[in-house]
Chain A
Amino acid sequence: MNNSAEKKLALTHLWVAFGAFGLAAVMGLYQVIERSGFFGFLESRAVYYASVSTHGVLMGFVLTTFFIMGFGYYTATSSLKMPVWNLSFAWVGFGVSLSGVVMAALPLLGGAASVLFTFYPPMQAHPLFYIGATLLVVGSWFWCVSMIVMYTQWKNANPGIAVPLAMFATTANAILWLWTSVGVAVEVLFQLIPWSLGWIDSIDPGLARTLFAWTLHPIVYFWLIPTYTAFYCLVPKQAGGFLFSDEMARAAFILLVVFSLPIGFHHLYMDPEQGHGWKILHAVGTFVVTLPTFITGFTVIASLEIAGRLNGGKGLFGWIAALPWTNPMVLAIILGLLMLIFGGFGGLVNASYAMNAMVHNTAWVSGHFHLIFGGTTVIMYFGVAYYLWPILSGKPLFCKAMAVKQLWTWFIGMIIMTTPWHILGLLGQPRRIDSVNYNNLLTLSWEPYEVTMMFGGAILLYSSALLLINLYKTQMGTEAYQGEIEYAEPIHAPDDLPEYLNSFKLWNIVIAVFMLIAFGYPILQFFLMETFGSGRWGV
């Protein structure tokens, strides 16, 4: 099958993703330096908050969304062995998303949208920011439609046969994202845009936060699913082995989608506009969603063990040494899992209803999500990029040793940056501060940690540069490379799969019921009680 058009589509998305990443990484280093307060001439809160807002949007929304779309298109065409459905439709989606990014970037860079990536009202940004963000999401819905159509077409053409796991996971993510984005879409369309344009004068920040919480948790799984897809479908093959279990992988993806949606209130534990009982309900769900991650950890490590033993590794731990540590994708997963183990403990603290009060909105939180999201999730995006770039561009990877070095420096930089960041949180430092001004001795204890973070940030920026240079040089190479993506084989082929592990019909109904239970009354209550809206406030 000639899929060069698909490759171009995927590669263009991925370049937007990593371009945004590169820009945001530069801002990241500036931020750790500015906030430390050691360089007086740099101090400017207006620039700092414009930068953090842009960095958050680029890393959180642009890198992720474009990576997911690009990887998804190529996964669909290569795993189903069919062309991408309606290519021009896909390009229109790309165009809509990209124009949204450009539109939002104008006020962001100009300092007219310094409301951070969570844009909590009643602080108001320029309307272009909200409209741009909406277009980014609307463009991604084109992708969701595309994935669901391709999945359905393939299923209809191959009745009773298991949908390839990689496509099953990608479709799961498309469905997850459609459900996820409803919350923020309602907030932006019915509250923020009309309010920022002056059509309505006040909005309820409590309702806005509730709707945002609808999106804020599952969006993390939207970012994570491509990483897990690579864990299950690409890594075992790269490591020289087999996938331990195809069925368990499907079960894990279904659990992720179903249980990540109705639990967003763990972001509202400390909020006054939702009651105790609802918070506890979501807290319980939050622990249920650890289940698929435990399953993933097990299946993936078992798959790696199989590979290590096939490579001749012996003994209890010998198989670890026998893994191909210089294969970028394998190295990425090893380092990613290490960061997941560290980060997992932190996550348990956040998620416990009682302990959350200690760390809520402190620097701990920023440290935690840089480790899990900037670390585990994104390092796998790098691993996938090194694998896909030669395939998509038709040129061999410029330098493998450089890739290995890049992954190691990313890991080391993350550990050096996020460990002190967590400690700062325990020492009471609030998140999102541009400088330290409190007239309290406590702040003296923060200084050494601020210094350490700067070193971490510098290593991370160096690492980002290595990545981008490698990808760029690959693309510019003169040699030709011919290869297609190779998916990992499961030990047991999934031949007599029950329908509930091959289809999402049942699960969509389950999700609808869960969402009704978890968000029905909590949203309805705002219309039942007397509430007082807020007007418009600048930053």
Chain B
Amino acid sequence: MHIDQLEKKWAGISLGIAGLFVAVILGSALFHGIHAPSNVETIDSARLHLSEEFAEDNLGAQLNADGSVTVRLVAGRYGFYPKNIVLPAETNITFRWVSLDVIHGVHIPMTNMSTMIVPGYVAQVQTLLHHTGEYPMLCNEYCGMGHAHMWSNLKVVSKTDWANMNNQGEASHE
């Protein structure tokens, strides 16, 4: 067998590059907190209204005792419900998404909140929203003829504004 000297070197370099990539992703996955939904938690999508957690009254943002916020949203053709939510910036937020029909996907542009919403499963994503402002939440997996019409609105406000809103007894989902 004949392998050229140069080629051996290059194979070594390639191996090095691939190794470097692997190190970088492993590092980022282990140390920087990855926001992919990987909770493998099942739920009966046909009976969401009967489930405790995703019954209509429980949807939207909820402040937890430790200061973090949990948001529960239901995706269904064609919208994410509740359709308008307000969330605090710079706060640990846990999104919990379920679908009541087909597969959807959702992302909030310019952030790393992105997940697929597969019927039968709860998709949980943890993130921090850094910038205040209005964001669309867009469906990004084809889910039928109305796919391009599937979105809802997110408003990110400062932590204090959010606390004030909640204190005045306003629902966190306008």
Contact = CB atoms under 8 A, between A and B. Distances in A.
A256 to B, nearest CB: 13
Interface stretch (B12-20, B65-73, B164-172): B12-20
A295 B18 CA distance: 12
A433 B150 CA distance: 10
Interface string A494-513: 10111001000000000000
B38 interface: yes
Nearest to A246: B2
A538 B24 CA distance: 43
A45 to B, nearest CB: 5
Contact of B147 (A427, A432, A436, A494): A432
A471 to B, nearest CB: 34
A530 B43 CA distance: 9
Interface string B42-54: 1111100000000
B66 to A, nearest CB: 22
Contacts of B115: 270-272
B26 A272 contact: no
A270 B148 contact: no
A520 to B, nearest CB: 16
A209 B138 CA distance: 21
Interface residues of B, number: 69
A432 B103 CA distance: 14
A442 B136 contact: yes
A350 to B, nearest CB: 12
Given A275-B38, A437-B148, A122 B119 contact: yes
B35 A357 contact: yes
Interface in A195-214: 204-206, 209
Contact of B134 (A114, A206, A361, A440): A440
A122 B144 CA distance: 11
B11 interface: yes
Contacts of B44: 532
A270 B37 contact: yes
B162 interface: no
Nearest to B30: A280
B43 to A, nearest CB: 7
A299 B11 CA distance: 10
Contacts of A327: none
A352 B2 contact: no
A529 B22 contact: no
Contacts of A284: 22, 25-26
Nearest to B110: A428
Among A116, A352, A532, the one with the most B-chain Cβ atoms within 10 Å of its Cβ is: A532
B39 A272 contact: yes
Contact of A205 (B109, B119, B124): B119
A309 interface: no
Contacts of A152: none
Given A357-B35, A432-B141, A539-B145, A280 B29 contact: yes
Interface stretch (A21-29, A141-149, A286-294, A377-385): A286-294
Given A45-B145, A427-B109, A245 B3 contact: yes
A393 B7 CA distance: 39
Contact of A245 (B4, B42, B114, B140): B4
A291 B145 contact: no
A209 B40 CA distance: 14
A94 B139 CA distance: 40
A354 B120 contact: no
Among B4, B22, B38, the one with the most A-chain Cβ atoms within 10 Å of its Cβ is: B38
Contacts of A209: 103, 118
A209 to B, nearest CB: 7
Contacts of A8: none
Contact of B1 (A497, A530, A534): A497
6 contacts: A247-B2, A279-B36, A354-B28, A354-B34, A357-B112, A360-B114
Interface of B: 1-4, 6-7, 10-11, 13-15, 17-18, 21-22, 24-26, 28-29, 32, 34-46, 101-103, 105, 107, 109-110, 112-124, 134, 136, 138-149, 151
Q: Which 4 residue pairs are nearest across A and B when measured between Cβ atoms?
A: A428-B109, A430-B140, A294-B14, A433-B148
Interface of A: 45-46, 49, 114, 116, 120, 122-123, 204-206, 209, 244-245, 247-248, 268-276, 279-280, 283-284, 287-288, 290-291, 294-295, 298-299, 302, 348, 352-354, 356-358, 360-362, 427-428, 430-438, 440, 442, 492, 494, 496-498, 501, 525, 529-535, 537-539
